[in-house]
Amino acid sequence: MSLNLDSKTPSGPLEKKWEQHKFESKLINPANRRKFEVIVVGTGLAGASAAATLGELGYKVKAFCFQDSPRRAHSIAAQGGINAAKNYQNDGDSVHRLFYDTIKGGDFRSRESNVHRLAEISVSIIDHCVALGVPFAREYGGLLDNRSFGGAQVSRTFYARGQTGQQLLLGAYSALNRQIAAGSVEMFSRTELMDIVLVDGHAKGIVTRDLTNGAIRTWAADCVIMATGGYGNVFYLSTNAKGSNVTATYRAHRRGAAFANPCYTQIHPTCIPVAGDHQSKLTLMSESLRNDGRVWVPKKKGDTRPYSQIPEDERDYYLERKYPSFGNLAPRDISSRSAKEVCDEGRGVGPGGLGVYLDFADSIKRLGEDKIRERYGNLFEMYHQITGENAYNGPMRIFPAVHYTMGGLWVDYNLMSNIPGLFVLGEANFSDHGANRLGASALMQGLADGYFVIPYTIGNYLAPHVGERPSTDHPAFKQTEADVRANIHKLLSIKGKRSVDSFHRELGLIMWDHCGMARTEKSLTRALKRLPELRQEFWQNANVPGENESLNTSLERAGRVADFLEFGELMCMDALTRKESCGGHFREEYQTPDGEAVRNDAEYSHVAAWEYQGEGIAPIRHTEPLTFDNVKLATRSYK
């Protein structure tokens, strides 16, 4: 089988590609835009900004989300900030430097052209968000304030207290609301995507379930945009919101969309450690804390003394020691792995030895408690709520947790998947972060995709297809709807004994132990044996009570967990076949004697894009080669 993985990267010099592509992209005149209907699934940063902008341009948009309001998308939880190459601090930043940092941060596993475009657009995002009324932090003189983030030596991160995602999403939500009021966007909340509909191989609609009453509906459009977020919840415990799921992207995968690099998952170094078996999710402490907090563990193994009794010279500030030039701001993958290493050595702190200290004592001494409170007040507050401990008086305990997924549906330079007419934006696509995402770059990417990329590139697909929108009477809609109903019926007919949540927890443990921070051929092979067994048990013994025709949270969850169970296997397969270590994918077999990742550029400088073959049949691994004309492939060093 051949799969079209043409990246459609424009020719010409890197700095001119996007300009040139915009110029060459097909325009649709305003009168004709009204003739096109666009479906946007997901209204987080990426989807809300896309729906609002397309509505503003005159397209007829229908937008969907599963929460009760677009304002609640998972993007709301982003804390730390958003990057932009403004160089307001005059510290040597530039579009090229942001481009380079992102390519290097991604461990040379992303497309140069996409990343450069992202860096170029970053500048306009800030301007637009300011115009929308996003209350970014300001200096006394009234200028925008910046902070620094992991993986960078310049201050280019814009923020709104510790609630940057909230403020950016509320900005996009307000733009969306303006279009809803104007009648150009119709919004459907508490509505879950169940499947996409292909007509002659093109994405022309979707099937949804109304979560309040179970109504199944079909919707036709000229194209479909998915901005449904990441799949971190395959690990059960993660920093993602409880509802975050792989269902939308995985069901598109089942219909033919290639899934790229599913094994690239990001484990965030600064989360609150797990407290017990009842735990339902993990809470992130923004990485911005690493600006002023110092990470350490005792030098001695099994040192159970309270932190206050461990003298300075018996503390190991391991990030500062191992990575003197980046210190506590080393990138996420490296910081997380280092934390795992010291805990594996028996030097971890807190219950089970699964934690390291993040200490603010020096900063409080230097800057005063007030300054720290001003910068991170809400994070200290949250830490206090959850642990009952006051971090102004003693160090926080932190541990890595699953946070972000770099993998996603494969897209070309236009953000279109290999299914014509299916576009994928935000965390749901695989595009810009390679094997590891730098902090404050997801918000940037989501908004770049939605506000500034898709409005230009969508025309390339739509222009030649005017007037081709099918009606929902087309047999493809009837068939897909029937498939959806059959799947729901199947879930409700299991009538087993074991709760869906317990399957999800077990899946999460398998993934964390075998496909987590460190992976081996052995662990992955074991997972690949265990996962089909678990899936089989699910379909025989899951307890999914109630009926379709009501608000049924068990049924919602069951559908999502069923997809995660299949998807976990795809992740493990991807991890098994990528025989190198890069970014968030660390294979123990491929490391230097001092534990640094060893990439294999000769054989793996490519995107792995998986093609679905049917249930229980091994998917096919295709590749899109990555070429680097503007940066030199180097071993990533933060020493």
Ligand X SMILES: Cc1cc2nc3c(=O)[nH]c(=O)nc-3n(C[C@H](O)[C@H](O)[C@H](O)COP(=O)(O)OP(=O)(O)OC[C@H]3O[C@@H](n4cnc5c(N)ncnc54)[C@H](O)[C@@H]3O)c2cc1C
Smaller CB separation from ligand X, 159 or 590? 159
CB of 268: closest distance to ligand X in angstroms?
A: 8
Q: Check binding of 561 to ligand X (CB under 6 A).
A: no
Judged by CB under 8 A, the chain residues 238 through 297 that form the site for another protein are 241-243, 275-276, 278-281, 283-284
Residues in the chain: 639
Q: Tell me the C-alpha distance between 234 and 248, whole Å.
A: 14
Q: Does 430 bind ligand X (CB under 6 A)?
A: no
**How far are the Cα atoms of 332, 382, 599 from residue 158, in angstroms, in the given order?**
19, 21, 32
Q: Which of 9, 89, 94, 177 binds another protein (CB under 8 A)?
A: 177
Residues between 102 and 131 that touch ligand X (CB under 6 A): none
Tokens 């003189």 locate to 141
Coil, helix or strand for 175? helix
Burial class (CB in 10 A: 0-12, 13-18, 19+), 540: exposed
Residue 457: name its binding partner from another protein, ligand X, none (Cβ under 5 to 8 Å by kind).
Answer: none
Strand 265-271, strand 542-543: pairing: unpaired
Contact between 90 and another protein per CB under 8 A: no
What CA–CA distances, in Å, run from 310 to 181, 316, 358?
60, 11, 14
User: Which window, 18-26, 223-231, 388-396, 461-469, contacts ligand X (CB under 6 A)?
Assistant: 223-231
Pair of tokens at residue 482? 């029937």
Residue 142 or residue 311: which is nearer to another protein going by CB?
A: 142
Q: How far is the CB of 313 from ligand X (least distance, A)?
A: 35
Number of residues this chain uses to bind another protein (CB under 8 A): 80
Instruction: Spell out, one character per residue from 1 to 40, where the chain touches another protein: x when CB under 8 A holds, - when not.
Output: ----------------------------------------
Q: Given the structure tokens 């020096």, which residue do they identify?
A: 362
Residues 45-84 that bind ligand X (CB under 6 A): 45-47, 64-67, 73-75, 77-82
Residue among 96, 178, 217, 526 that touches another protein (CB under 8 A): 178
Contact string (CB under 6 A) for ligand X, positions 28-47, x = contact? -------------xxxxxxx
- In this structure, what is the dihedral angle of CA atoms 176, 178, 179, 180, given to the nearest 10 degrees? 80
Q: Which residue, among 554, 584, 439, has the nearest Cα to 149 in the 3D structure?
A: 439
Give the residue among 294, 326, 338, 329 at the shortest CA–CA distance from 594. 338
Q: Which of 296, 399, 423, 452 binds another protein (CB under 8 A)?
A: 452
The answer to whether residue 400 forms part of the interface with ligand X (CB under 6 A) is no
For another protein, the closer CB: 77 or 463: 77
Which partner from the list another protein, ligand X, none does 160 bind, CB cut-off 5 to 8 Å by kind? another protein
Which residue of 25, 543, 591, 630 would you call a contact of another protein, by CB under 8 A? 543
- For 305-330, b/e burial (b = at least 16 CB within 10 A) is eebeebeeeebbbbbeebbeebbbbb
Q: Which of residues 279-308 bind ligand X (CB under 6 A)?
A: 284
The residues near 319 (Cβ < 8 Å, ≥ 6 apart) are 295, 326, 327, 328, 330, 335, 338
| The one among 51, 194, 221, 382 contacting another protein by CB under 8 A | 382
Give the CA dihedral 574, 249, 444, 34, nearest 10 degrees: 150
Nearest distance, CB of residue 15 and ligand X, angstroms: 24
**443/527 with CB nearer ligand X:** 443
Phi first, then psi: what are they for 302, rounded to 5°? 60, 25
Work out which of 52, 98, 227, 565 binds ligand X, going by CB under 6 A: 227
* Residue 170 in the binding site for another protein (CB under 8 A): yes
- N-terminal to C-terminal alpha carbon distance within the chain: 45
> Using CB under 6 A, which of 55, 171, 229, 584 touches ligand X?
229
Counting contacts by CB under 8 A, is residue 338 touching another protein? no
Q: How far apart, in whole angstroms, are the C-alpha atoms of residue 257 and residue 198?
A: 11
For another protein, the closer of residues 242 and 489 by Cβ is 242
Q: Select from 13, 30, 141, 614 the one that contacts another protein (CB under 8 A).
A: 141
Q: Is 117 in the site for another protein (CB under 8 A)?
A: no
Give the contacts of 393 (CB within 8 A, at least 6 positions apart).
none
Verify binding: residue 434, ligand X, rule CB under 6 A.
no
Which C-beta is closer to another protein: that of 456 or that of 628? 456
If the CB atoms of residues 314 and 547 are measured against another protein, the closer one turns out to be: 547
Residue 578 annotated in active site = no
| Residue 280 interaction partner, one of ligand X, another protein, none, beta carbon < 5-8 Å per kind | another protein
Q: Which does 245 bind (CB under 5 to 8 A by kind): ligand X, another protein, none?
A: ligand X
451 secondary structure, DSSP code: I
Query: Which of 203-216 are b and which e, b meaning 16 or more Cβ less than 10 Å from the residue's Cβ?
Result: bbbbbbbebeebeb
CA-closest candidate to residue 316, choices 294, 286, 291: 294
Out of 36, 59, 99, 136, the residue judged to bind another protein by CB under 8 A:
136
Query: Which of residues 102, 228, 265, 552 is near ligand X by CB under 6 A?
Result: 228
Contacts of 212 (CB under 8 A, 6+ apart): 190, 551
Q: Shortest distance, CB of residue 612 to another protein, whole angstroms?
A: 29
- Tokens at 622, concatenated: 């295709």
CB of 122 to ligand X, least distance (A): 11
d(CA 515, CA 521): 10
Give Cβ neighbours of residue 2 (< 8 Å, ≥ 6 apart): none
Piece of 122-130, 403-411, 520-528, 586-594 that binds another protein (CB under 8 A): 122-130
User: Which of the 8 DSSP states describes residue 259?
Assistant: E
Between 284 and 609, CB nearer to ligand X: 284
3-state secondary structure of 400: strand
Q: Is 382 in the site for ligand X (CB under 6 A)?
A: no
- The DSSP 8-state label assigned to residue 586 in this structure reads -
Whose CA is closest to 63, among 53, 77, 76? 53
- Selected catalytic residue, list 332, 437, 535, 557: 332
**Residue pointed to by tokens 């991890």:** 575
Binding region for ligand X (CB under 6 A): 41-47, 64-67, 73-75, 77-82, 164-165, 192-193, 227-230, 239-240, 244-245, 247-248, 284, 403-404, 426-428, 440-443, 446
Question: Could you give the residue numbers annotated as active site?
Answer: 332
